[in-house]
Every structure is written in C-alpha cells, then in structure tokens.
Structure 1
Amino acid sequence: MFAVIRYSVPEARAEEFALSARLILDVLAAQAGYRSGHIGRSVDEPNLWAVVTEWDGAGFYRRALSAARMQMYPTMSLMINEPSAFEILVSNP
C-alpha cells in the first residue's frame, strides 16, 4: 500500500517544513514494513507539499504513524485533512 500525506505550507515556513518533513521521513523509514518514501512539492502550486511512502501493509503504516507522532506534531496544523492510505490495485514497475 502507499500513503500520501499532503500539506499546505506557507512560503515563509517552507524551509522549516522541509527540515521537519525530512525528520518525519527518517522516523518512518526506521519502522517495520517501510519500503520507500519521498518528499515532494507541487510544481504548479508551491505551497502544496506531500510526504509519500510505500508500505508492506496498512497495519505497518498505522503503527509507523504512532511511532512518528512526536516528529509529526509540529506540522499537523499544515496537514490537509483527507484520507492518506491507498491500496495498490495496479503496478507497472
């Protein structure tokens, strides 16, 4: 499964957010079931950022979120409230 957590980040906080997002990704990467992760910024809307990760399953992802809770806390006000976990139905490596 993969997860997409989107953030609306004011330009004045972009540098601070990038550092926080890297710390979040580092914590997630240390968790069981983690496969890969990316931090991205929209090329069309520079205030829109995403942390995208891939997991062995939804349970791993949910447990990892609990482990990363303290790292995620400073960025929670920037999160876009929407579902983040997606089941992979088709892959084309």
Structure 2
Amino acid sequence: MALLSEGQHLFVAELSYLAPMEEVDALIGPHRAFLKDQYAAGHFLASGAKVPRDGGVIIAIGTDIEEIEALFRLDPFYTSGVAQYRVIEFNPTMVADGLR
C-alpha cells in the first residue's frame, strides 16, 4: 500500500481553540461529522486532540495546500470562530514499511 498516489501531497494541520471549552464542546458533534465526511472522501488519515486539550492535529492528503485549507474552512469549529488552523505541507522522505 502506497502512502501517496501520484500528484498527492501530505499535510499536517494544527487546530488551536480560540474560545472557551464550553463553546468548543457545544460544536463537537458537527465537527466530528465534518471529520467523518473527510475520512470517507479519502482526505484525512488521522486526527485527534492535542495534549493538553487546547486544539487538535489532523494528517491529511490532497493535491495542494489550497485544497486542504479550503476543506478546513468547512469545519464547524472554523466557521463558528472557535478555532483556527495552521496547515503545513511536508514531503515524507522516510515512511514505515507498511506505508510504502
């Protein structure tokens, strides 16, 4: 199984909360629905909360950073203003054996 297909790039997105946890938690259901949709579309590989829980991290696959940033602008956390994203593109030079 190859990690990336031709023309795909890998991204790490750091999500940082901008609002109190009560506001974040109120949107956790719609946020998780957004995540499920992106997993189903093949855009996301892994996601989870940072420790301490002041945001999250998502590993994504896409054709370019503009595509990935556009996806994150659909997240209810982002559209409601409770969080912001920082997206980093990277070129993996080494991967675990099962991901080549």
* Residue of structure 1 in register with 2:49 after alignment: 40
Identity of aligned pairs, percent?
11
RMSD: 3.1
Q: Which residue of 2 aligns with 1:58?
A: 64
Match of 1:75 among 64, 74, 77: 77
Following the alignment from structure 2 to structure 1, what is the Cα–Cα distance between the partners of residues 24 and 68? Answer: 26
Q: Does 1:88 align with 2:98?
A: no
- Which residue identity does 1:26 align to in structure 2? K
DSSP-derived class of the 2:84 partner: coil
Q: 2:17 matched to 1:13?
A: no
Where does structure 2 lack aligned partners over 5 or more consecutive residues?
1-9
Q: After the TM superposition, which segments of 4 or more aligned residues of structure 1 sit over 4 Å from their partners?
A: none
More helix by share: 1
Which has the higher Rg, Structure 1 or Structure 2? Answer: 2
Q: Post-superposition shift, 1:88?
A: 2.6
The answer to whether structure 1 residue 31 and structure 2 residue 41 are counterparts is yes
Q: Is the 8 A contact 2:13 2:60 kept in 1?
A: no
Amino acid at match of 1:79: A
Instruction: Give the number of aligned pairs.
Output: 84
- Give TM-score scaled by structure 2 length: 0.57
* Distance in 2, Cα, partners of 1:62 & 1:53: 10
Structure 1: gaps of 5 or more residues: none
TM-score of the superposed pair, with normalisation by structure 1: 0.61
